[in-house]
Amino acid sequence: MPFIAALAVASAALIVSFIAVWLVQLRSRNAGMIDPVWAAALGTVALFAAAAGSGDLVNRLFVAACGGIWGWRLGVHLWRRNAGRDEDYRYRAMRIRWGATAPRRMLALFVLQAAIAAALSLAFFIPAYQAARPTVTGATASLAIWLASVAGEAAADRQLRRFVAKPERSGQVCDDGWWRYSRHPNYFFECLHWCAYAAWSAGRPWGWVTLLPPLLMGWLLLRVSGIPLLEAHLQDSRAGYRDYQRRTSALIPWPPRRPPAPSTRDPTEPRS
């Protein structure tokens, strides 16, 4: 299938699927179920890109395996986290703020998410249509990035799930495992995942396009719908979160900052 036709089919399928989820949430009033569908849909698009692509078989197998496993693992995780629970606070806040216009605005939001997913899927379509394979070094680096990202995101998700499952930790800040070094390690590994396709496609026709998905994802998480919204909520719902912000890197895992040493000067002593 020609590249443009395959991308158009995938984009249309994403829009139709997300509109279907929007119709379901009109009855359930739980718009948060779009999150697992978003991840699984992208995993499915990776499989479609690999099947429709005319590139080298190795390239298409890479896209199918890496994109499919990533998307469906994340989709299943988000489904288990959200199913049977109240609507995610972000969507609930939007619903309250929008009032009577919430249904059509939520539809616009879902269609926007479909468009973002289509843009991210370029990371799958470009390598699936490249005739030449990467070098051994490039392939090794790409697989290492992908393995690190998926394993790291799965570990961070598991650490947070175990933390919130303990009743005595309710309302506290998770700083176990990866969360000690990053306030959002799952977001970091999410961005890192998209870099694997850029590394795989580097140095070949249109390979530069695969830089756009990790840049787009990083911008969304850092500036738009990820960290800003989540941290505004956590500051009000988690005791000690502001201290956690001061000592812990926002995204890239990094050793915690040490608190400033207490002053030894006598407060009654006059300044010289």
Dump pLDDT digits (tens) for 208-242. 999 999 999 999 999 888 888 888 888 888 888 89
**Token reading at 184:** 């959002």
Count CB atoms within 10 A of the CB of residue 112: 11
83 or 262, which is more confident? Answer: 83
**Exposure string (b/e) for 81-103, b if CB count within 10 Å is 16 or more?**
bbeeeebbebbeebbeeeeeebe
Exposure on the CB side of residue 82, measured as CA atoms within 13 A: 20
Euclidean distance between CA atoms 43 and 172, whole angstroms: 33
For the chain, give every domain's residue range: 1-131, 134-256
Q: Distance (Å, rounded) from C-alpha 9 to C-alpha 3? A: 10
Q: What is the pLDDT of residue 265?
A: 58
Q: Are 14 and 39 in contact (CB under 8 A)?
A: no
| CA 192 – CA 251 distance, rounded (Å) | 11
User: pLDDT tens digits for 79-135?
Assistant: 998 888 888 888 998 999 999 999 999 999 999 999 999 999 999 999 999 999 999
- State the Cα–Cα distance between residues 155 and 192, nearest whole angstrom: 14
* Predicted pLDDT at 229: 83
- Given a contact cutoff of 8 angstroms between Cβ atoms, the answer to whether 113 and 90 are in contact is no
What per-residue confidence (pLDDT) applies to 259?
67
One-letter identity of residue 210: T
Examine the pLDDT at 260 and tell me if it is beyond 70.
Answer: no
Gap between the Cα atoms of 263 and 50, Å rounded: 62
For 33-47, 83-97, 198-212, which range has the lowest pLDDT when averaged over its residues?
83-97
- The burial of 60, by beta-carbon neighbours within 10 Å (0-12 exposed, 13-18 middle, 19 or more buried), is given as buried
**Number of Cα atoms under 13 Å in the Cβ half of residue 209:** 15
Angle between helices 102-120 and 89-98 (to 10 degrees): 140
How far apart are alpha carbons 92 and 29 in whole angstroms? 9
CA pair distance 126, 205, nearest whole angstrom: 9
Contact between residue 82 and residue 35 where contact means Cβ atoms under 8 Å apart:
yes
Q: What is the pLDDT of residues 141-197, one digit of tens each?
A: 999 999 999 999 999 999 999 998 888 888 888 888 999 999 999 999 999 999 999
Opening angle at CA 208, ends 204 and 213, nearest 5: 130
